[in-house]
Amino acid sequence: MLLTPNSCKTEFYQRNINYTFSIILGLNVQVILLCILNELFVLDRVQNSSEPSLQPILEYLSDTALQKDKAGMWNCIFSVGDRVFAQFIEVMSNKPKDSNREKELENHAQFLLVNFNHVHKQIRRVADKYLSGLVDRFPHLLWNCRVLWCMLDILQVLSYSLELDPNEETPVLRIPSSPGYILMLMDTLEARESIVKDFAARCQEIIQEAMKWAPHATRSHLQDYLNQIPSSGLWHHSGLALAMESVLQYTGLNIQSSPLSVSVLGGSSLTFHRSA
């Protein structure tokens, strides 16, 4: 479904037409028209929805046919996405600071963390860009319990993927502490290892920044994460390893030691089941 110009306010329509033409000069008329209508549609859903979402624009950008399009349609929608994200930030900033807004922000931070590990490189870059913008405007998400736990669970699921045979059918893995988000895996072991290393590095950066601004809250959430993971000497739990290393480092118990290497954090691991 696409919005028609008649369904939008004249000022809103004209503003977005001018902007869209400025970023897609040189594209054919059909692509220009599609960009205008899609931008109006997606922006309208963000502006006028009680629960604005970034998922539609990420779904558009993830479309394989769109990514292979030679007419520049993906770049056009990517530019639309930047407008959508800016509008999303504005809408969320103007919402009452209550539990409903907090849950929406948490869900979007988790959603972007998952897509940071998307099978398509373009989507990984978009998710990274939006995640940076989100925590820049709402920095408390860095030390939010649900966000931290989800991040560590993603790291564990990714590490577990290294144990799976890449020659078999690629599975879809669920993220335990998310609102039902799933991870699609890369086809090759080398690609999976690269994803794990990149995400492990990002996790370390996030925890370091969280410890810088809210050390007590961050340490408390990490300790709680340690406590709720079943302990077994047979398991290598990458999320657990990072949480433990961070807690020890920032309580001064291993100040003299260097942080765990990305290769250790992204090492082999076995799946786990969290008790209800």
| 38-84 pLDDT tens trace | 556 666 666 666 678 898 889 888 988 888 876 677 887 888 888 88
Q: Pick the closest to residue 79 from 121, 116, 31, 113 (CA basis).
A: 31
**Regarding predicted confidence, which is higher, 241 or 192?**
192
Spatial contact of 158 and 192, defined as CB atoms under 8 Å apart:
yes
Report the share of the chain in percent with pLDDT over 70. Answer: 64
Spatial contact of 140 and 92, defined as CB atoms under 8 Å apart:
no
| 177-194 pLDDT tens trace | 788 899 999 989 999 999
| 121-168 pLDDT tens trace | 999 999 999 999 999 999 999 999 999 999 999 988 888 888 888 888
Asked if residue 260 has pLDDT above 50, the reply is no
Spatial contact of 58 and 123, defined as CB atoms under 8 Å apart:
yes
Report the share of the chain in percent with pLDDT over 90. Answer: 36
Q: What is the dihedral of CA 70, 76, 77, 83, to 10 degrees?
A: 170
Confidence tier at 23 by pLDDT (50, 70, 90): very low
Cβ-proximal residues to 244 (8 Å cutoff; 6+ apart), any chain: 226
Asked if residue 267 has pLDDT above 70, the reply is no
Confidence tier at 10 by pLDDT (50, 70, 90): very low
Asked if residue 218 has pLDDT above 50, the reply is yes
Residue 162 Cα to chain centre, angstroms: 21
Spatial contact of 132 and 173, defined as CB atoms under 8 Å apart:
no
- The whole-number average pLDDT for the span 208-234 is 81
Confidence tier at 227 by pLDDT (50, 70, 90): confident
* Mean pLDDT across the chain: 75
Highest average pLDDT, of 207-216, 223-232, 235-244, comes from 207-216
Spatial contact of 142 and 135, defined as CB atoms under 8 Å apart:
yes
